[in-house]
Structure 1
């Protein structure tokens, strides 16, 4: 799961494989994407390992089109993979934030409530952390708990043995904050993982059940889950940094930080729902909760909010050992780009996924599209 740059800033068209000619290095190029979009895709993916796939959803003015590519024998092929499933990594944090917003809107808790009031055991030293602070990375919690020792875990699946007992041990005995809660935003997988755990405890159910009942059923996201066994026949195999097949990650008790699998079909439905002004729950996740004075950026609940000459964009990226993902939304113009891939977050060019998201969003500007007509 990748960190924003800095903190926030580190942070695709119907599957068509009917055309018969190569274009910008892509065999069977799909003619319903623009030449510029094709050039962008080729430029950012031409050096990826063989068997790398990208599933892309491009939303323009509320209309979604899908496009997929796969690199085979040093050739980029157009494929239909919009229903295929990938690990989405830290984009899961947006879903955990949505679960939080659901409980706030339905008066189960308050954003500024102390999570201690909902736990059966106290945080070490009586530390007071709110739900909002967990979701917008201002809790003061470190990126990872100190009892998740990277030199002693299976780096191919580093979270699989980190269970609720180890989480409780850390929070009650070993907890140390990097700064006082609320002072600054410092990206924390631990914080959002803890948020998912506490929300599950409040509803006396599993994180998966919360997802299904509060989000996935509501938005008809039938191929999205935190239980890999449910979508095994749709799953694209992840690749490691060298392009070899990589094991999937099991996030265990920290599932809320990065344990969801999904398709661009499902994520586009979630994105389109963001354009519905009457959806109070989704609107709450996009409300600024912390401002980065120097970067013209805010944190919502889960979302990074970037303001520049193009307007306001809501963003999140994700990465695991075998996958890299990116989502960018322009709510005002009902535009968006979603990219899921099986490129490793440890690949030296993994940031090309974010770069491609930004470049494709640039092709959706009205003046640019008019010039192409």
Structure 2
């Protein structure tokens, strides 16, 4: 059963309290940061999380950012200052990879509709034609995972760590099989965005980490955003498995662009506030719809999922790894947003509560 849940997470990459009043009152002085309704939502969505679970929350409203953190201990929750603490952000990394792509497009290093074979040292099997845009918006036809990443032989606590450039090359040149023709359908692919991140670093003759730092972190003053754990080890919150025990961090190796970034809500709030600046051509390009999932309701941009509902448009992304769960949801028009980072395992039965909480808090801002 556990292997089944690990498979689901890889494909989509990503003690309860019985006394509500005690747990709710554990959030002392919350009114300095959040409303009573928001505090109640936080309790409701986290009351069945394991002990030692932490949530770091950033709430963007009216041009300001408020931070709020909680930690669950002794079957209750209390507030904690963890806005500078670092968590794995999982697939929110795909938004950063999309931003790196948009940077290269705006600076005319490549075109969104260019054939990636024109930039690869080893072209895809059968000369399959896939564009950069299709990699980023999950319309490439590539499967969610390469078939030569074998779950029965990997370390399930760190499943990507041995998937290197040589294995990626073998897959795309020898084993490649598309689920559908490129451009026909959007089907979530960690492989596709991982390949995109790898290609962008090769095009710029550097590493993904160097691209991240030079093109994003320096520009937006993100001081604790990295793929290198050694850089933030003293700020890193340990991930928990589905039972609440500490679990190893994930190493994404050659697929780092799909989910290998670590960050804090302090950093992600700066990145989110920058999304409200329409003059930023690079970020604006990532938010532009590139594929319609459901007419007039759901679209996908470069990295971002775009949801339209009752006259408002939200952009969002979630992330999950063996020890962490994350969510970011923004209303660009109203300049509101919620970011949640946690060390709740994406294998936990209630991991979707993180997304639910983000949406519930956002509703209190509109």
TM-score (ref. length: structure 1): 0.92
Shift of 1:24: 2.4
Structure 2 equivalent of residue 268 of structure 1? 269
The answer to whether the 8 Å contact 1:123/1:172 transfers is yes
Q: Could you report, residue by residue, the CA deviation over 1:65-120 in whole angstroms, capped at 9, with x for unpaired residues? A: 00000001111010000000000000000000000000000000000000000011
The answer to whether the 8 Å contact 1:57/1:264 transfers is yes
Structure 1 equivalent of residue 126 of structure 2? 125
Q: 1:23 to 1:364 in 2, by over 3 A?
A: farther
Structure 2 equivalent of residue 190 of structure 1? 191
| Structure holding more helix per residue | 2
Instruction: Give me the whole-angstrom Cα distance separating, in 1, the residues matched to 2:23 and 2:51.
Output: 19
Structure 2 equivalent of residue 220 of structure 1? 221
Q: 1:240 to 1:310 in 2, by over 3 A?
A: farther
Please state whether the residue corresponding to 2:258 is helix, strand or coil. Answer: helix
Query: Where in structure 2 are there 5+ consecutive unaligned residues?
Result: 1-5, 15-20
Structure 1 equivalent of residue 238 of structure 2? 237
TM-score (ref. length: structure 2): 0.93
Q: 1:130 to 1:148 in 2, by over 3 A?
A: same
Instruction: Give me the whole-angstrom Cα distance separating, in 1, the residues matched to 2:27 and 2:87.
Output: 23
Instruction: Give me the whole-angstrom Cα distance separating, in 1, the residues matched to 2:27 and 2:68.
Output: 13
Instruction: Give me the whole-angstrom Cα distance separating, in 1, the residues matched to 2:311 and 2:260.
Output: 32
Query: Where in structure 1 are there 5+ consecutive unaligned residues?
Result: 12-20, 366-373
Structure 1 equivalent of residue 344 of structure 2? 343
Please state whether the residue corresponding to 1:217 is helix, strand or coil. Answer: helix
Structure 2 equivalent of residue 328 of structure 1? 329
Instruction: Give me the whole-angstrom Cα distance separating, in 1, the residues matched to 2:157 and 2:177.
Output: 27
Instruction: Give me the whole-angstrom Cα distance separating, in 2, the residues matched to 1:213 and 1:22.
Output: 47
Shift of 1:30: 1.3
For 1:1-373, list aligned pairs within 5 A: 24-32=24-32, 33-293=34-294, 296-309=297-310, 311-365=312-366
Instruction: Give me the whole-angstrom Cα distance separating, in 1, the residues matched to 2:208 and 2:123.
Output: 22
**RMSD of Structure 2 on Structure 1 (CA):** 1.8
Shift of 1:292: 1.3
Instruction: Give me the whole-angstrom Cα distance separating, in 1, the residues matched to 2:123 and 2:97.
Output: 22
Q: Could you report, residue by residue, the CA deviation over 1:215-255 in whole angstroms, capped at 9, with x for unpaired residues? A: 00000000000111100000000000000001000000000
Instruction: Give me the whole-angstrom Cα distance separating, in 2, the residues matched to 1:2 and 1:50.
Output: 25
The answer to whether the 8 Å contact 1:88/1:324 transfers is yes
Shift of 1:58: 0.2
Q: Could you report, residue by residue, the CA deviation over 1:155-174 in whole angstroms, capped at 9, with x for unpaired residues? A: 00000000000000000000
